[in-house]
Amino acid sequence: MQVSFEFFPPRDNAGQSSLDNAVQQLQVWQPQFASMTYGAGGTSQQESFAGAQKLLARDLATASHITCVGADRETVQATAKQFVAQGVDHFVALRGDSPDGPYVPHPQGYAYANDLVAGLREWFTGTISVAAYPEIHPQALSGAKDLAFLKAKMDAGADQIITQYCYNTDTLLAFAENLQKVGITQPLLVGIMPIHDIAAVQRFSARCGATVPQSIGDRFAALEQTQDKVKLAIDIAVEQCRQLMENGLDQFHFYTLNRSTLTAGVLATLEQPPVNMALSA
Ligand code: FAD
């Protein structure tokens, strides 16, 4: 099993200490890399530089997310070069979303992530990861077109894929099979988002085209105590990771939300054999 952790740039002192604590607690799991988001939730470029710097300062292999929305090519390239000058050798290359209304490409910009990957590959020799959507990107013309554009990102020079989180494991496994059908052979890192707050995850999922199965909502609705909800969140993620590993998918990218409890709980549980195996050993 290999893991990576995603963080976002904090905006105030309380956020800084949450990030510091989360990074410190999670670093012991020796991630393949740690990534810092860019522009998501309205964060500024300076906040992303500072966030990436924090990961680099802890000697973590650091990936910077970079988006091409709302900027011309020159500006995007200058930003990428600034990250590289900082010591970053891995980009998660993304289109991003327009802050209000439907996405409109910048007239002098990279229109889609495949164009951004090609632009970075003109000079960048480090790792490039790209995003993929097992439940299909909400603005995709069709599932087949979404997959074809993902293939275009790989053909432009991307090295690996990180998925949007997806709580339906069958959907994830079908997606992995579809990748093979269209000739995508690069590593697939499955996004795992342990559920810290079911209502918040349901709201966010509705915006980004992911679904939270009714059965998961029902399991949380039956609980009142915080500690029971924490245990359930860990159980759900552990169950999913185990099923994925049984099917050959063993690279997990945790959306940590700058918190460590759930991710560390999942990893600690995965390190132990499942109870029935332990009993029969
Ligand atoms: P693309 O691959 O460009 O695809 C976007 C849409 O356009 C899809 O519907 C696709 O089917 C279609 N499309 C693709 N190429 C073409 C083409 N050539 N012609 C026509 N249509 C095309 N957002 C942030 O702002 N900051 C972040 O740090 C960030 N990190 C993320 C990390 C991960 C792992 C994931 C899964 C998402 C992240 N996002 C982030 C969100 C992301 O920016 C949005 O999901 C965005 O809507 C799509 O980005 P993309 O790179 O997948 O776009």
Q: What is the CATH number of the domain that holds 243?
A: 3.20.20.220
Torsion of CA 28, 50, 130, 78, to 10 degrees: -150
Give burial (CB, 10 Å; 0-12/13-18/19+) of 20: middle
Ligand 1 centre and the CA of 131: distance in Å? Answer: 6
pLDDT the model gives residue 206: 93
pTM over 0.75: yes
Which amino acid residue places its CA nearest to atom 33 of ligand 1? 131
Number of domains, the chain: 1
pLDDT of residue 274: 60
How many other β-carbons are positioned within 10 Å of the β-carbon of residue 74?
10
Q: Which domain holds residue 245?
A: 2-280
Exposed e or buried b for every residue in 37-71, given b needs 16+ CB within 10 A? bbbeeebebebbbebbbbbbeeebbbbbbbbbbbb
**pLDDT number for residue 127:** 98
Is 271 part of the annotated catalytic residue set?
A: no
pLDDT per residue of the chain (281 residues) written in tens, 0 to 9: 999 999 999 999 999 999 999 999 999 999 999 999 999 777 788 999 999 999 999 999 999 999 999 999 999 999 999 999 999 999 999 999 998 889 999 999 999 999 999 999 999 999 999 999 999 999 999 999 999 999 999 999 999 999 999 999 999 999 999 999 999 999 999 999 999 999 999 999 998 999 999 999 999 999 999 999 999 999 999 999 999 999 999 999 999 999 999 999 999 999 976 665 555 54
189 is written with which tokens?
A: 């890192």
Residue with the smallest CA separation from ligand 1 atom 35 is 131
User: CA of 94: how far to CAs of 2, 120, 133, 167, in Å?
Assistant: 23, 11, 13, 22
Element housing 281 (H / E): none
CA 96 to ligand 1 centroid distance, Å:
6
Task: State residue 275's pLDDT score.
Answer: 60
Task: For residue 93, give the H/E element and its range.
Answer: strand 90-94
CA of 53 to the centre of ligand 1 (A): 24
Q: What pLDDT sits at residue 100?
A: 84
Q: What is the pLDDT of residue 273?
A: 63
- CA-35 nearest atom, ligand 1: 28
Distance CA 222, CA 128 (A): 42
Ligand 1 lining (C-beta closer than 6 Å): 37-40, 65, 67, 92, 94-97, 112-114, 131, 137, 139-140, 145-146, 149, 153, 162, 164, 191
Contact 210, 166 (CB under 8 A): yes
**C-alpha angle 156/249/87, rounded to 5°?**
50
State the Cα–Cα distance between residues 66 and 76, nearest whole angstrom: 8
Distance CA 258, CA 203 (A): 19
SS3 content of the chain, % helix, strand, coil (to 5): 50, 15, 35
| Structure confidence at residue 43 (pLDDT) | 77
